[in-house]
Amino acid sequence: MKKYLVGMMICLWSYVALAQAENLGMQDYAMRFAEVKTLQSDFTEEKHLALLNQPIQSEGNLVFDKQAQQLRWQYQKPFKNGFLMQRNHIYRIQDSRKIPIQNVMGRILAAQMLVWLTLDLEALQKEYAISFEKRAIRFTPRAKDHKLIKQITVWLDAQDPRLVTQVKMEEPNGDFVLWKFRHTQLNPTLSDEVFL
């Protein structure tokens, strides 16, 4: 009986210790990501879809100002399009023209981007179970039969864990999108023109 009790105590202690470690990890990451005020990066986007014979790839760049809540997500190849978010106003960029996005879906999509770019773990935790690995953070939707997302994995730079190097978004049917970020600059000085 005593053995069982000791065993149970050890299990309980281990569970509490692990939970604390997880919380510590999250707090640590959250603090690091909070240091990022502005961001500039190039990206490639690979889409692996059952619909396509071959994966397709697009390239672009992004600039982001956390305080001003401004984001420009610009595709350069093969099409020049993207979107621009300026506080509550969202625009589609089409042939260098700014077209206001009126629909809620577009706005929500852009708002989600903001959450992901800042890696607002507190906000994300409401919708995703978050697990921390050595250089990756894994987000699994809390909703059991999520129709669009199976899992999202974010890889961080080995030297500077504030830098996101890759994001993989997997769908329940096996399709996935992979974003690779390079030439990332943290907290650069951004001129207003980049958001015009």
Partner 1 sequence: MKWLRGHGPLLVFIAGAVACIAGVAHGPIEENVLALIPQSIKQQVELFGHSPLSQKMMVVAQAPSATQAFQTAQQIREQLLQEQLIRPVGNPAADFIPQVLDVLPTLFTSQDQLVATRKLTPRAVASQFDRYQEGLFSLESMFTKQQMTQDPLFLTEIFFDKWKKLGQGNTEYQDGLLASPDGTVQVGLYDSTAVVSDLTAARRLQRWFTQQQQRLPAGVRVFFMGGLRYTLENMSVIKRDLLLISLVGLALLGSVFGLFFRNRRALLIYLLPIGILPPAALVTQLVFGRISGITLGFGSVVAGLSVDYAIYVYFACQTSSVDSAKMHSQIRKHLWCNFLTSALCFAALFLSSVEVFKQIAVFALVALSLALGVALKVFPAYFRSPVSVAPRGIKIKPLSWRSACSVSVLLVVWGIWGITHTSLRQGLEALNSTSSAFAQDKKITDQLFTADKRALLFSLGKTADEALVHNENLSAVLPVSLPVSELFVSAKTRAENQTRWQQFWTPGRIRSARQSLRTEAVRHGLNPAAFESFWKRLQQPHSPTVDFTAWYNPILTLTDGSYAVMNIVEDTPVYQTVAQQHPAVFVSASQLQQKLARGVKDEAVQVVIWALLFNGVAVWMIFRNFKEALLCFVPVILGGCILFGCLAFFGITVNILGLIFLPLLVGLGIDYAIFQLMKYRAAREQLHEVYPPQALLAAGLSTLAGFGVLGLARHSVLFMMGICALIGIGGAVGVALFILPAFRERVL
Contacting residues toward partner 1, per CB under 8 A: 45, 47, 49-54, 56, 58, 73, 75, 78-79, 81-83, 87-89, 102-109, 111, 113-114, 147-148, 171, 175, 177
Residue 127 or 157 having the CB closest to partner 1: 127
Q: How far is the CB of 12 from partner 1 (least distance, A)?
A: 33
Q: Please, are residues 141 and 130 in contact by the beta-carbon 8 Å criterion?
A: no
Amino acid code (one letter) for 98:
K
How many degrees, rounded to 5, is the angle at CA 47 between CA 42 and CA 49?
Answer: 175
Residue 50 or 196 having the CB closest to partner 1: 50
Residue 37 or 48 having the CB closest to partner 1: 48
Q: What are the residue ranges of helices labelled H in 76-120?
A: 104-117
Query: In 3-state terms, what secondary structure has residue 28?
Result: helix
Q: How far is the CB of 30 from partner 1 (least distance, A)?
A: 19
Report the C-alpha gap between 101 and 83 in whole angstroms. 9
Residue 38 or 81 having the CB closest to partner 1: 81
